[in-house]
Each structure stands twice: as structure tokens, then as C-alpha cells.
Structure 1
Amino acid sequence: MSPAVFRIIIVGGGIAGFAAAIALREPNRNITVLEQSSLNKEIGALISFQPNASRIIQSDWGLDLQNARPMVDEGFRIYNTDGKLINAIPLLVKKEYEGDRLLFHRRDLHDNLKQHAMSDFSSGKGNPVEVRVASKVVKCDVLSGIVELETGEKLSADLIIGADGIHSVVRRYVLPEEPQPMPTGLSAYRLMISTEILEKEEPDFCSKINPREPFTSMIVAHNCRLIMGPGRQGEVYGITALVPDEQMNEDPNAKQSWVAEGDLNKILQTFSEFPDWVTSIFKYEITDFPLKDRCSPIIQRHSSDLGLWQLRDLNPLAKWHSGRVVLIGDAAHAMLPTQGQGASQAIEDAEALGAFFEDISDPPSPEDISSILETVIQARYSRASLIQAYSRQAAKPGTMKGENTVTM
């Protein structure tokens, strides 16, 4: 008689979800990722892995990230609005932390993790993960381990992982009083520009900041911040523009991040006190072309692809798990991007799940599941909550508004 299979459902097909799938792949396990979108594609933006995450991905999991075209970030450079370098902080982290700070195009990283989760990339790692798109979860029974989809279909598992982001559906079934993501006083524009076009059309900018060099560059002035860096090994240049909420243009009723369409005139107005060599680059935007079709980015001279969203985060939750269900990533500890640790903490969550379930091959009892999940959370909660606080603290003065201010 064949042994019973350990069934795992992961709600959410983003970076956190696929990281958990990779970490939990073992013989005698069936893992299903439920993704609400029909395409399961990440948006086009830059994302970083800090050394704590890159060490796990490359050394502990042994994943080949070359298809994701990572760049090693060699340091931070801070410029004034005249384009003068006023501070440089080298990142000499490889020796101390056994990992680099890596920069990715978010879609490339997502595709790479998805490929590893779904492929038979090594013997002894169990069955490839099944990914079901257009599978929106609307209900979750934490005790019985049953999720219900929007279609009415019900699926059961021994372990359910809520990796469905800051607006998590699963979270409301873990916590009796679900907290709501809080506005933080900051909003952000994000855009991606072809480096080739920058070099051709904006020589003044490129004479001050070389968009191909592997550095994160920042300009902080007039209560606004520009954080910029290269991706795809210098092929694209990503820009995040942080602005106070009173200068944002997002639909305040929007439930999802990235849904708001930015307005070129609005961002130019917001940065009107910045010099032309900076603001002139905002008018260039490229369509988010797939990695295999990198031949001719289309120059857009309007803001149809300019993303704008209000930055929100969560106070530390009272708990991350109930019954057979556990929350990870932004569903458990959404944090601001100021420390660059959002995705990296999701990787740590996945690593903890993989480690504490490593010796479990048969379906665990509800009591064993709950005990193991409690151990996972004991290992993760204080660290993730502290980084949440650091991330919010680093966003000041934009977050110095009453209840949103962190006391440390």
C-alpha cells in the first residue's frame, strides 16, 4: 500500500508563494499553488535580495539564478540635486554575510522561482509543484484545512500557507479581528527605463549618474526621495520616487497595490523643484517586454505605464497561524521598502518552513502541524517584527503622523 501523501496548499503565486514551494519540496508531498490571476505574472519593477536572502537561495537551496540575470549591488551613492556625489557607501557584504545584495527585474526573478518550483530540477526533491491560475480563494477553514474558491470548488490539504500579500484573504480566518493595512504617509511612483534610451536621449543625466554601473543611487531633497538602480545586468534602469501622501494621485479606495495609473504631469509637478537633468528622465517609459523579446523597447512619452501606489504596512500581528494555516511574507508582516527586506523576509519564512518540516514525510496530525507552525513562528516573529519597525522608522518624516509613528 502506498503511503499517504502530505498535501500542501499555498495561496498566492508570488515570490513568497514560490519560495515556500521550493523550500517544502520533498518526496511524498503534493504541493499546489493557487493564484487568483489568470496569467501569474509579476509586474515590471526592480527588486533586491539582501545577503540574508541571497545566501539562502544560492547556498542553502542551491538555485541557479542566472536566468534571472541578477546584478550584484556594489554600494549606495547619494547625490545632491546638482548631481554632485556627496556620500558613497560600499557594500562589502559577501565575506561577512556569505551573500551579496542582488538586484533583479521583478518579473525575471518571479519566473525563475516559478520555474524551479515546477521543474524536475534535481532528483530526490519530490514532485514538481502544481500551479493553478484563476483560482481565487474566498474562504478558508483553518481547522479542517479546506479552502473554497470563487467558483465554489473546495480543496483540502494537511497544511495551508497564506502567501497572498498585504490584502490577504487567508489572514481574516487566522485572526478573529483582522487588522487593516495602514497608510504610512508616503506614496511612490515607480517606472522602468531602457538604459540605451537614457544614454542616447539624456546625456546630462548619464554624465552625472551612470545607469549601467552596479550601484543604488539616491537623491533626497524637498521632502521627496529618488531611489534608482540598474537591472537585467544594466539593460534597464529602475526608479522609485517617494513622495508625501498630499502629493500623490492614487485612488484612495484601491484595494490592490500597483493598480493606480500615474500621471506624468503630476509627477513633474511634484518634482518641480528638482533640476531638469533629473525630471527630464520621467518622460521615458518602456513597455514591460518579456526577457526573450529584449530587442526594441518602445519609447512612451506619456504615463500609461507609470505606476503609483500608496505605501501601507501592518503593525505586528497578534499571531501568524491557526490550526492548519500559517501566514508568510506580506500577509504576515508587510513592511515598507526602505530597508529592502520585504522579499528577503519572505525567503526567510520559506526557509524556516522547509527546515522545521524537513523530517516530516507522512501527513502530520493537526496537533503536530500546529506545534511545528508555532516553532516556525517563534523562530521568525521577533526578527520580522523588528525589521518592520526599522522599515517604518527609516521612512520618517513621511510617517511621523500619530498612530503611524513607531516607538523603539
Structure 2
Amino acid sequence: MANFNESIDHNTLEDIGNGLGLEHDVQCDPPSGINVLIIGAGVGGLTAALECHRKGHSVRIWERSESAVAGGDMFTIGLSGRRFVNNYPEMVKELDRISVHNAFLQYRRHTGEAIGEAKPFAVMWAKAGIDPKNVPMVMQMRVLWHTMLWRQVEKFNIEVLFGKRVVEYFEDAERGVAGVSTDQGERTEADVVLAADGLNSSSQQLVMPNGNKGTRSGRSVFRSAYPLHLAMANPLIKEYFGPKDGRFPITQTWLGPDTHLVALCYIDREGKNDQMVWGITYHEKGEQSTKESWHQTVSSEDVLSILDETPGWGEPLKAMVEATPPGHIVHWPLIFRNPQPVWHSPVARVLQIGDAAHSFLPTSGNGATQAIEDAVTIAECLKQGGKDNIPTAIKTHNLLRFDRVSCGQRLGWANAERMHKTDFSKGPVDVSKVQSRVPKWLFQHDPEVYAVANYAKAAASIVDGTSFENTNIPPGYVPAAWTMEEVLAREAEGKSIELSGDWS
């Protein structure tokens, strides 16, 4: 399996699909006449390409890497971010093949002491009355998910140009176009440009040139993925982190003061692609100097020295870190941008999606999911608006999405508080009090259905100035501006994060 940053060639894409009986049976809309240029081939960018293609738009992708890359370790994908896959029969089969099946969940203190028993996810969802096919969140291997998207893009023959490092976005109101230029002086234009190139996207110079750059949250993550057999060679690691009953995947969360670990012992349904995946989130002392890069690796010793700053970490965890091969631990800073109400350029021909528009803490479990929701929504909005109303369609997308995304970002801070501020001195802790919230308003949402149902009224509110209120947010919640600085100030004062409305 690819680790962190591995090129995916044509043969690999074909191999992953072997035995699935794949065929072209995606129902695509007639051509819309809208030309869409997507900058960035991450999860958001690739999903936007697929959805725009399905909605009849003409699509191109410009990617700065020199080849198709599937990077990273693990992430969660909420139900609202998985629904779009149902429109692609090929991917439905592939997703079932690469997903975690028969998985267990275990919580522990950072010392290794169990908080309750390991429980099967299936039983947990069944007790909550949730269909196994519609569970709120699933843990996915980023490499496999990303490769699944790449393969579908290839089957659609969507044009992808590599080695295109975009340094400028522009638009021309008179001609009704937008475009980009690269560090090599290349320029290209389209009816719409989607900036899916991350937090440091050059589109920010056009969308919000005077500020709201990413701010270091003070938190960083050590994250790793390596072959499971290397970890299982140590009996202590096997006992604590190995497959449940010797054969079932298990996700564990270890909770400590201002820190937590998430580990996944991953095995697919065919007993293949086994990996030991782990990530440790902590408060980085002093000025954060780490950069966002899958290439910025550190040693096991570096991680252990940080762990020693929080007394009590269990020996099994330290052993797992020590067993990690050289070059397989990435030091990743958590950079956050305050909720940004406007994601589009002045003429509304350039639109930011994913991290370029909104960054998330990992404790929200929603970064990739919301990037996917962006992709689904803009594709439908462009279809609804048509070629003659592209600026209105882009502004409508922004209106339909911002309140919801802002709530999702706030949820990440609230979940971090639950995980990092638990008081274990008062005796046994109820697991439900430390689990991350996965609210119904979040996972039950269908972004395509919502866009279809609300586009006309939302667009009219932009054109005519009439009122529009989103219903894809917590019931009873009144949208209000907030900042990371305010949250950190409350945290410093020992105050909890306020969540008005129903976040259950």
C-alpha cells in the first residue's frame, strides 16, 4: 500500500479494479456548455471533477504534482460525503472492497487503561437504529479512497495536466471568464475556476487579498502508516493494538491531558492491505515552525521526546512509535482559518472549495467530507443556474454552504475539548462523555438533494435581496460569527465552548 506520497500509475489503477466487473453505467446529464477548470487533484478536486462531469459540464484538472499521487494515512468520511458514490456503480463496488468491515472501537486513557470494553461498530449502530449501509462515519485509508477517485477520473477520460504550479488566479468580467497562470508563465481560461489547491491557495489573493490567512492553532499531529506485520512482531504492540480476536480491524482512541492518540489496525475485507496507522495530536510548545507537507518526516526519537512531556504514556504506545520504520512519521501542523463568509472572487468566476475555503481540525472528522459536499453542491448549482448565470450559481453555492461549514468547524473545537479535558480523577468515565459528537444534522444531510430543493429560493435571495435561511445546520441554531481567537480565549479561561441549538 502507498504511504503518504506515492505516485499511482495506470497499471496500479487497473489492478485495484480487477475482479469488480466494472462498466460504464453512470447516468450523465446532457452537455451544459459550462467549461470548468479545477486546480488541485485532492479529494475535493477529484470529486468536483467527477460530479461536474456527471452534471454535463466540461472539465479539466491542473495539478502541481508531476504525476497522479495518492497521499496520506487515514481519514473519516461521513455519510453526507459518501452518498455521491451511489451514482457511480463502479465505485460502489470498489468502496465496499476497500472499506473497513467488522471493525471494533476501543477507548483508553493515555496510560493504556481501558475505558469500557472494545465494541463492534455494527452493534453500536444497530442499537442506535442505524442501517449498517448508512452509518454516520467510516474510517477510510486515504490512499485507497484517493486512488478510487483517480481511477474513475481516468475512466471518464477527464483531462489532467500535471506539473502545473498555479501562482495566480484572475477573472475578466467583460468577457465572462476566469483563469490561472503558473510559475512557468503558462495561462489558461475557463467559464469557472474551482480552487481546490489547499489552505495556501493563491486564489486567496483574489478572494480575500487583505487577510484571513491560515493561523497556527497551537496543535500539531504526528501521523504514520506502515505495514502491520512490523508492529505485530512485538507481542506488547500486538496485545494492545493488534486485530481484535486476531482478525478484526480495531480503531482506538487514547485520551490524555491536552493530547490524544487515534490508531487503526487496518485490514480490508479480504485480509489484505493491512496497515498500522496512528496519529498523536498535541499542543506544540513555543512558536510552531512545522510546515504542511507529507515529506516533512521526523524520527521515532523525536516523537518519544514529545510524549515524555506528558507523563504516563503507556509502554504499548511507545513501543508502537519505536516500531515505526524511518521516514514514516510526518509532523503535521494544524493550521486553521477563521470562518470565511466569502469563498468566491469579486466577479464570482473563481470559487474556493475544500481547505482553500475552510480548514478543519481533525477532531471534527469532517475536512474531507465537507470538501466532498462542496464538490457535489457546486456541480448541481452550476447545472441549476446554467451558462448564463454562473456568477449567481457560485454565490448561491456559497450561501448554501457557509453556515453549515462554520458549524462543522466549531464542532471540531468542541470535540477537542471533550477529548483533551476529561477529568479521570473522579473515577470511571462514561465512554459517551468522551466520544466525538457526530450530530444527526451533520451525517443525515444529502448535499445534492439540498441543492436541488433550495437553489431557486437561495438564488432569488441573491438576485432580489429576499430572505433565505439554511436548514442544513443544527436545529434551533442561529448562525453567528465566531473566531478561533475567541475559542482559545475561552479555553484559557477554563470555559467550555458554547453550542446553541440541537447538536445531538
Short-chain TM bin:
0.7 to 0.9
State the match for 1:158 in structure 2.
Answer: 191
Equivalent residue letter for 1:217: Q
Task: Indicate the residue corresponding to 2:465 in structure 1.
Answer: none
Distance apart, 1:103 and its partner CA: 2.6
Partners of 1:73 and 1:334 in 2: how far apart?
Answer: 31
Alpha-carbon distance in 2 for matches of 1:186, 1:27 = 39
Name the residue aligned to 1:385.
Answer: 406
Match of residue 260 from structure 2: 225
Determine the structure 1 residue equivalent to 2:57: 29
- Post-superposition Cα deviations, 1:94-135, rounded to whole Å, max 9, x if no partner, equal 528834633332122111101112213xxxxxxx31111100
In the other structure, the counterpart of 2:107 is 78
* Range 186-195 or range 138-147, more displaced: 138-147
Q: Does 1:15 align with 2:17?
A: no
**2:200 partner letter:** H
Q: Are the structure 2 counterparts of residues 36 and 402 from structure 1 closer, same or farther at C-alpha, using a change threshold of 3 Å?
A: same
Residue 208, structure 1, aligned to residue 240, structure 2 = yes
Q: Does 1:316 align with 2:339?
A: yes
CA shift digits 1:156-181 (9 cap, x unpaired): 10011011111111122112324111
What's the secondary structure of 1:47's corresponding residue? strand
C-alpha contact (below 8 Å) 2:32/2:57 kept by paired residues: no
- In the TM superposition, what are the counterparts of 1:77-226 in structure 2 within 5 Å? 77-80=106-109, 81-86=111-116, 90=121, 91-92=124-125, 94-95=130-131, 98-99=134-135, 101-120=137-156, 128-143=157-172, 144-199=177-232, 201-211=233-243, 213-226=248-261
d(CA) in 1 for partners of 2:354, 2:374: 7
Q: Tell whether the 8 Å contact from 1:83 to 1:208 is kept in structure 2 after alignment.
A: no
1:345 to 359, 367, 370: 370
Mapped contact 1:336–1:342 kept (Cα < 8 A): yes
Alpha-carbon spacing, 1:188–1:158, altered in 2? closer, same or farther (3 Å): same
Q: Identify the match of residue 289 of structure 2 among 221, 238, 251.
A: 251
The 2-side partners of 1:134 and 1:206 are apart by 42
Give the Cα–Cα distance (whole angstroms) in 2 for the partners of residues 65 and 96 of structure 1: 16
Kept in 1: contact 2:374–2:401 (CA 8 A):
yes
The answer to whether the 8 Å contact 2:262/2:280 transfers is yes
Please report how far the alpha carbon of residue 61 of structure 1 lies from its aligned counterpart in structure 2 after TM superposition.
Answer: 4.5
Deviation of the 1:31 alpha carbon? 0.8
Shift of 1:304: 2.2
Per-residue CA distance 1:26-48 (angstroms, 9 max, x = gap): 48632111111113313241122
Instruction: Give the alignment's TM-score, normalised by structure 1.
Output: 0.83
Matched to 1:262, the amino acid is V
Distance (Å, rounded) in 1 between the aligned partners of 2:391 and 2:185:
27
- Deviation digits for residues 330-383 of structure 1 (CA, Å, limit 9, x no counterpart): 11111111021110111111111222233567xx13xx1111112212221111
Cα distance between partner residues in 2 of 1:210 and 1:78: 14
CA apart distance, 1:221: 2.1
* Aligned AA (1:84): A
Distance apart, 1:387 and its partner CA: 0.4
Unaligned runs of 5+ in 2: 1-30, 422-483, 500-504
Q: Matched residues in 2 for 1:391 and 1:209: separation?
A: 26
- Look up the match of 1:304: 327
**TM-score (normalizing by structure 2):** 0.68
How many corresponding residue pairs? 374
> CA 1:65/1:202 → structure 2, altered by over 3 Å: closer, same or farther?
farther
Unaligned stretches of 5+ in structure 1? 121-127, 286-299
Structure 1 partner of 2:317? 278
Q: CA deviation at 1:230?
A: 3.1
* Farther-moved stretch of structure 1 (76-85 vs 190-199): 76-85
SS at match of 1:145: strand
Greater mean deviation of Cα atoms: 388-397 or 153-162:
388-397
Question: Does 2:354 align with 1:329?
Answer: yes
> Counterparts of 2:202 and 2:133 in 1: how far apart (Å)?
35
For residue 19 of structure 2, what is the aligned residue in structure 1?
none
**Residues 75 and 60 of structure 1, relative CA distance in 2, 3 Å threshold:** farther
Percent pairwise identity:
21
The change in CA–CA distance for 1:36 and 1:73 in structure 2 (over 3 A counts) is farther
SS in 2 for 1:353: helix
> Matched residue of 2:198: which SS?
coil
Q: Is the 8 A contact 2:240 2:316 kept in 1?
A: no
SS in 2 for 1:151: coil
Report if the CA contact (8 A) 1:79-1:87 is conserved: no
Relative contact order, higher structure (CA 8 A, sep 6+): 1
| SS across alignment from 1:38 | coil
Aligned to 1:261: 297
Question: What is the identity, as a one-letter code, of the residue corresponding to 1:176?
Answer: P
Counterpart CA distance in 2 for 1:219 and 1:34 is 40
1:123 maps to which residue?
A: none
In structure 1, what is the equivalent of residue 474 of structure 2?
A: none
Given residue 241 of structure 2, which amino acid in structure 1 is its aligned partner?
Answer: I
Give distance in 2, aligned partners of 1:139 and 1:184. 27
